[in-house]
């Protein structure tokens, strides 16, 4: 099978992990160029050792390389602000697509097992955030069975797995994830919280998902959640339920107040998740980074189908 050549912009943790995933596991993508802005970065040094072309002058330098003509997909693993700049160049080339791993959200939100088929013809798609990739499938799973009024997610990640890019984009993380809970997950209202846990030894990614929905068949909701977990596991094997799904009735005479919606009652569903990374470049505890790179890789490969 002839592979499609790709470039990655961003030589930090996420970009380097994605590069190694493509080199080791992809049957459809061929790693062409890793791009950074720090000539001394570990990512660029590692790429050079692995026989991958490198560029330390950003998107403008990439466009000047002879490899640029054959590249069809660009993965952006930089920052929300940098993605706006990078897209201003890439969008001029109609034969190229960009998969955005930042919270910039210029293109529509994409969570592979939920709404991939809606965006197969677009040139810029956004992978939301690590918390969004982990939790939105669970909100969507509940939405398949019962109307979701409110979805709230708490993503707890090891402090050591949060690099400068993640830390600089905390506000964008919460805003982007909250919006995607609504637009992709199907909730009327969404809220996202991220916790950087400094525990030693570092903990694996843990995510808690709360939904308040109309009353629905609990067994059907539980089955929908298990089916969605299985779908995510196809590209993130370390994605698991940490405990069984929990339900609680919120009675009509004791409703909860949700900002923007008022008082609501119904069925509260709690999903507790754990995400363990594959350990390709980063430690296993960095499941938050692994789920982003895995989702981006799965998106790139499915776009070629």
pLDDT tens by residue, 120-154: 889 999 999 999 999 999 999 999 999 999 999 99
What global pTM score does this model have? 0.95
What's phi and psi for 71, nearest 5 deg? -75, 130
pLDDT at residue 1 above 80? no
Enclosing H/E stretch for 25:
helix 13-25
pLDDT at residue 165 above 80? no
What's phi and psi for 219, nearest 5 deg? -65, -35
pLDDT given at position 241: 98
DSSP-derived secondary structure letter, 109: B
pLDDT given at position 250: 97
**124-126 and 189-197 as β-strands: parallel, antiparallel, unpaired?**
unpaired
279: tokens are 């350990």
pLDDT given at position 138: 98
Output the CA torsion sign for 239, 36, 43, 167: negative
Determine what percent of the chain is predicted with pLDDT higher than 70: 100
Measured CA to CA, the distance from residue 159 to residue 231 in angstroms comes to 28
Among candidate residues 59, 82, 104, 130, the one labeled active-site is: 130
pLDDT given at position 305: 77
Enclosing H/E stretch for 207:
strand 205-213
pLDDT given at position 92: 98
Mean pLDDT of the residues in the chain: 96
Question: Quick one: average pLDDT of 88-93?
Answer: 98
55 labelled catalytic: no
32: tokens are 């062409």
Measured CA to CA, the distance from residue 33 to residue 31 in angstroms comes to 6
CB atoms within 10 A of CB 77: 32
Output the CA torsion sign for 230, 233, 234, 237: negative
277: tokens are 């990374």
Domains and CATH numbers, the chain: 4-128+290-304 (3.40.50.720), 130-284 (3.30.360.10)
């Amino acid at each position: 099978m002839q592979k499609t050549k790709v470039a990655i912009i961003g030589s930090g943790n996420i970009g380097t992990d994605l590069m190694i995933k493509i080199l080791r596991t992809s049957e459809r993508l061929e790693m062409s160029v890793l791009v950074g802005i720090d000539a001394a970065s570990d990512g660029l040094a590692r790429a050079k050792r692995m026989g991958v072309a490198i560029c330390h002058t950003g998107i403008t330098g990439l466009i000047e390389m002879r490899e640029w003509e054959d590249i069809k997909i660009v993965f952006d693993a930089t920052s929300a602000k940098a993605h706006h700049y990078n897209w201003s160049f890439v969008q001029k080339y109609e034969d190229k697509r960009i998969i955005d791993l930042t919270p910039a959200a210029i293109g529509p939100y994409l969570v592979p097992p939920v709404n991939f088929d809606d965006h197969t013809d677009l040139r810029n798609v956004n992978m939301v955030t690590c918390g969004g990739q982990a939790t939105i499938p669970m909100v969507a799973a509940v939405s398949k069975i019962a109307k979701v009024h409110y979805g709230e997610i708490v993503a707890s990640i090891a402090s050591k797995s949060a690099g400068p890019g993640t830390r600089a984009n905390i506000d964008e993380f919460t805003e982007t994830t909250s919006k995607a809970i609504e637009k992709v997950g199907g909730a009327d209202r969404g809220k996202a919280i991220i916790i950087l846990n400094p525990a030693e030894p570092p903990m694996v990614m843990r995510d808690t998902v709360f939904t308040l929905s109309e009353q629905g068949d609990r067994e059907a909701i539980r089955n929908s959640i298990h089916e969605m977990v299985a779908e995510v596991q196809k590209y993130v094997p370390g994605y698991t339920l940490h405990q069984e799904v929990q339900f609680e009735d919120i009675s009509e005479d004791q409703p909860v107040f949700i900002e923007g919606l008022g008082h609501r009652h119904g069925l509260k569903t709690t999903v507790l998740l754990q995400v363990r990374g594959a350990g390709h470049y980063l430690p296993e505890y960095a499941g938050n980074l692994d789920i982003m790179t895995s989702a981006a890789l799965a998106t790139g490969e499915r776009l070629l189908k």
